[in-house]
Structure 1
Amino acid sequence: MDLQLKDKLIIVTGGAKGIGEGIVQVLAKEGAIPVIFGRNEQDNLKVVSAIEAAGGTAHHVVAELTDPASCANAVKAIVDKFGKIDGLVNNAGVNDGVGLENGDYEKFMASLHKNLVHYYLIAHHALPWLKKSKGSIVNISSKTAETGQGGTSAYAASNGGRNALTREWAVELLPYGIRVNAIIVAECWTPLYERWIETLPNPEEKLQSIVSKIPLEQRMTTSEEIANMAAFLLSPVSSHTTGQLVYVDGGYVHLDRAIS
């Protein structure tokens, strides 16, 4: 199936690692031009170089997404260079463990900036160009907004906000033909997830416990599986899909645990 993404310019925040990198790689294979927004130039360039070596095209902008001015400048840099934006994937963030008991105002607000505020800011600054292209927005979100996790109030609140913004923007942007959807991630194997597992007392035992509860094939979701859904939702092929929270999780959130 041709996803009709050739030469489409698509911003991917946090596109240098994990799920974001997976999305960038799939978009490049589809002939799109992914643009990584990320704070670490070396990480950004590593992904761009790999895509170019494989015959694709990608670009990057060094951006500290917790800084509102940096968000605005990153979008401006892309518009100045290319004169268009065809899609946006809001992805950057981290489950930083700012809980109710162990957190405070400063940590909570800092986490919201890491995980939620830049979703709004990048979309806000990209909107004039997305209106011109009738582009699409995909927000990457997490199961924590629905299931809770414990000890991560700020991240859970951020994901609740991501889900709410997805529905809100889908309504607000109807007049412009801009579609907005979210992908809800549960247990996806990334370098960040691996580092988290390694902090636990018995990492291998804990990992097997988690995997055993994933109904479909008792395995972790891959970044590529998230990326494939993101490419579809960005594509004109999904032309009548908007305001949806799409769970790419092997049935983890909604299927009965008794079956696994």
Structure 2
Amino acid sequence: MNLELKDKVIIVSGGAKGIGEGIVKVLAAEGALPFIVGRNETDNKATIAAVEAAGGKAWQTVAELIDPKASAQAVKTVLDQFGRIDGLVNNAGVNDGVGLENGGYDAFMASLHKNLVHYYLLAHHALPALKASKGAIVNIGSKTAETGQGGTSAYAAANGGRSALTREWAVELLKYGIRVNAIIVAECWTPLYERWIQTLPDPKAKLESIVKNIPLENRMTTAEEIANMTAFLLSHRSSHTTGQLIHVDGGYVHLDRALAGADTVGSSEGQK
């Protein structure tokens, strides 16, 4: 299926690693012009090099999105380069483990800035350009907002906010023809997820206990699978889909655990 994304300018926050990197690579393969907004220039450029080696194109700007001013500057950089924005993928963030027992006001607020506030700010600053292009927004969210996880109050709250903003923006932007959807991630294999697994006493056993609870094929979701759905939602092939929270998770959140033949096991989902 031709997604008709050729030459579409699409911002991808956190586009240099994990899920964001997968999204950038799929968009570039579809002929789009992904623009990475990421905190590390070396990582940004490494992803661009991989995209170019595969025959695609991508651009980058360095931004520490915990700084509220960074979102406005990032959008300005994209507009200075291309003069248009056709899509926005809000993806940057990390499950930072700020809970009730090991948090506090400063840590909680910092986590919200790290995981939620820039979702709003990037969309706010990109909105005039998205109105002009009748573009689309895709927010990457987490099952922690629906299932809970324990020890990660701030990240769960941020993801509840991501889901709520998705539905709110879908309503607010109907009159502009801008579609807004979210992809809810459960157990997706990324470098940060692997790093978390390796901190545990028995990483192999822990990973086995997690994947046996994923009903479809008893395996982790891949970044490419998240990316494929993202590309579809950005494209006009999903022209009558808005306000949806789409779970790309092998049935992890909604299917009966008995189908997987094991009891529920917690994990450190959300490590992008």
**Partner Cα distance (2:204, 2:109) in 1:** 33
Q: Cα distance, 1:181 vs. partner?
A: 0.1
Q: Aligned pair 1:142/2:149, yes or no?
A: no
Q: Cα distance, 1:123 vs. partner?
A: 0.4
Q: Which amino acid aligns with 2:98?
A: V
Deviations 1:83-103 (A, max 9, x none): 000000000000000001111
Counterpart mapping for 1:61-210 below 5 A: 61-210=61-210
Scaled by the length of structure 2, the TM-score of the pair is 0.95
Q: Cα distance, 1:198 vs. partner?
A: 1.1
Scaled by the length of structure 1, the TM-score of the pair is 0.99
**Partner Cα distance (1:141, 1:105) in 2:** 23
**Partner Cα distance (1:219, 1:186) in 2:** 11
Deviations 1:45-101 (A, max 9, x none): 011111112211100011111111111111001101110000000000000000011
**Partner Cα distance (2:53, 2:207) in 1:** 34
What is residue 233 of structure 1 aligned with on the other side? 233
Q: Aligned pair 1:51/2:55, yes or no?
A: no
**Partner Cα distance (1:54, 1:251) in 2:** 32
**Partner Cα distance (1:157, 1:177) in 2:** 29
Q: Cα distance, 1:224 vs. partner?
A: 0.3
Q: Cα distance, 1:203 vs. partner?
A: 1.2
**Partner Cα distance (2:224, 2:81) in 1:** 29
Deviations 1:180-239 (A, max 9, x none): 000000000000100111112211111100000000000000000000000000000000
**Partner Cα distance (2:200, 2:182) in 1:** 30
Q: Cα distance, 1:44 vs. partner?
A: 0.2
**Partner Cα distance (2:195, 2:50) in 1:** 24
What is residue 37 of structure 2 aligned with on the other side? 37
Q: Cα distance, 1:15 vs. partner?
A: 0.2
Structure 1 unaligned segments of length 5 or more: list them.
none
Question: For the aligned residues, what is the CA RMSD?
Answer: 0.5
What is residue 60 of structure 1 aligned with on the other side? 60
Consecutive aligned runs of 4 or more in structure 1 exceeding 4 Å deviation: none
Q: Which amino acid aligns with 1:57?
A: K
Tell me the secondary structure at the aligned position of residue 146 of structure 2.
helix
**Partner Cα distance (1:26, 1:37) in 2:** 16
